[in-house]
Amino acid sequence: MSRYGKAEARLGVNRLSGNAAADDGAPAQTIHDVLVVGSGAAGLTAALVLAETCRVLVLAKGSLDGGSTNWAQGGIAAVLDEGDTFEDHIRDTMIAGAGLNRRETVEFVVENAPAAIRRLVELGVPFNAAQGALHLTREGGHSHRRIVHVDDATGAAVQKALLDAARAHSNITLLPGRTCIDLITGRHEAARYSGSGRVWGVYALDEASGKVEAHTASATILATGGAGRVYQFSTAPRGATGDGIAMAWRAGARVSNMEMMQFHPTCLYNLEVKNFLITEAVRGEGGRLVNPRTGKRFMEFYDAERLELAPRDVVARAIDAEIKKFGLDYVHLDISHMPADFVREHFPNIYEKLMGLGIDMTTSPIPVVPAQHYTCGGILIDLDGRTDLPGLYAAGECTESGLHGANRLASNSLLECFVFGDAAARDILRRRDSFDAPPEVRAWDESRVTDSDEEVVIKQNWTEIRRFMWNYVGIVRTNKRLERAAHRIQMLSGEVNDYYGHFRVTTDLIELRNLLQSAELIVRSARARHESRGLHYTLDYPQTDAVARDTVLVP
């Protein structure tokens, strides 16, 4: 039973009073022109475009730089070299996506990539240069060098530049420490109970005070990132719990291709330091995958033509197969045959991190394993970032725009954030005069709930979800494994929803609810696809259908 069931326990009746003032006299409803949920590449790009004429509120769970953007090591793909073409980038993206991509989306993003890079340069992102031009590297699946980067910490540099610009803009309000609970729609209007799916903002928990606030706006953009933390092993940050995807689904928006979860082939294997990514560019600059038992390269047995530069799904399955076949804990990624100065210059952050762990990558191989890395499916959007719900836009990893298809091409992720963050903002500006002002909405009511006396329930369920998703809905799937996962989700749903309906919300509880919802969408989507394509590989349907079809789920 959802929180809107059980006598509308949380938001429908008991959780919402008829006024817009909190019990302590502080305003329970803030009103802005546009609300952006997420302070990463997509959210801040949109905010900066909108802020020229709109008052924009940016909400962030935890810190302003705690999202996935700040973690991105690789770079941003764009056609900038004389020998490269838009058509080459489009073809590489479509091949990696196993034909499930929507070509109009791929064309749109690829053709807007150079302009996105120029805007970042203008913001002061210090991209690496060589001989008076941007230095371009190459990553798996790319036919040319087209990856602009800032050493091996591009995301951190981009995050800093965007945040600095946002902080300096008088029309942008940045509000960290806000965990969003649900979208505000017509059903939450104070004057009437409307069945309208029109989105007016979000209810969000102030993590410091424990109070729930209503933040309303004429338009809302979800830029909340992916759902990587639904898996036991992931390179995603702690907050990647599928919040935006789950909220949009509960409000009535369709989601698509949630079964397409990308596993990065090379995450550092270390029992003390978890989730440290070894960027694709290590392989792009000559890194080789080696079986530590045999001492031999093994990619020639899985993709003799592309070897280590095959798309990520191919490389991840090859490593997974090698580990299972030989009973290994990890494989080796070895770039020690390259000059030491070259390695240190190209990968200074990775080099320093590994040296701190006693691994010198200039002389020794790096132990690596696959880990969940990117959510290729998500909220269904069009080329303007619009969802099914009026007033609701989305951009970045929480979406399914049609760019990635069945597998994301390396370094297309940040690019998607910039292009769709910009597109959503510009569509809002075009339509702004037709948007109504947000209504007064009902305030959050906690009169019938109490503080939890068993937080261990949240931790236990979180651990269980991540473990069975890794074991049953991972790199290689079967009908039986998916059935087992679905059964466990069904059992946990009643327990989590009952807990949610009786106790005050906390960030952990909100995330648990969203993790479970995301897991359910992933499993439903995987069970609906009766073929192997890209990231979805199942032993029961090893063939690939002649026609590529999206898996679209309707609430």
Q: Which residues are catalytic?
A: 312
How far is the C-alpha of 404 from the C-alpha of 7, rounded, in Å?
Answer: 41
| Closest CA relative to residue 415, chosen from 102, 161, 156, 111 | 111
CA distance 474 to 65: 28
Which position has the token pair 């962030």? 60
Maximum distance among all Cα pairs of the chain, rounded to whole angstroms: 71
Sort strands 212-222 and 29-37 into parallel, antiparallel or unpaired.
Answer: parallel
CA 334, 335, 338, 341: dihedral to nearest 10 degrees?
-130
**Distance, CA of 530 to CA of 541 (rounded, Å):** 6
Residue 294 exposed, middle or buried by CB count within 10 Å (0-12, 13-18, 19+): exposed
In this structure, what token pair is assigned to residue 73? 């090591």
Sequence-ordered list of residues with C-beta below 8 angstroms from that of 494, at least 6 positions apart, any chain: 1
Which two three-digit tokens encode residue 113? 């990539």
* 259: amino acid identity, one letter: E
User: What is the Cα–Cα distance from 310 to 417, expressed in whole angstroms?
Assistant: 24
Q: How many residues does the chain have?
A: 555
3-state secondary structure of 353: helix
d(CA 6, CA 316) in angstroms, rounded, equals 44
DSSP string of 103-137, one letter each residue: HHHHHHHHHHHHHHHHHHHHHT----EETTEE-EE
Residue 362: what residue type?
A: T
Q: What is the side-by-side strand order in the sheet with 136-137?
A: 76-77, 147-148, 136-137
Residues 74, 119 contacting (CB under 8 angstroms): no
Mark 379-388 as b/e (b = at least 16 C-beta within 10 Å).
Answer: bbbbbebbbb
Q: How far apart are CA 111 and CA 125, in angstroms?
A: 21
DSSP three-state, residue 391 = coil
Name the residue type at position 411. Answer: S
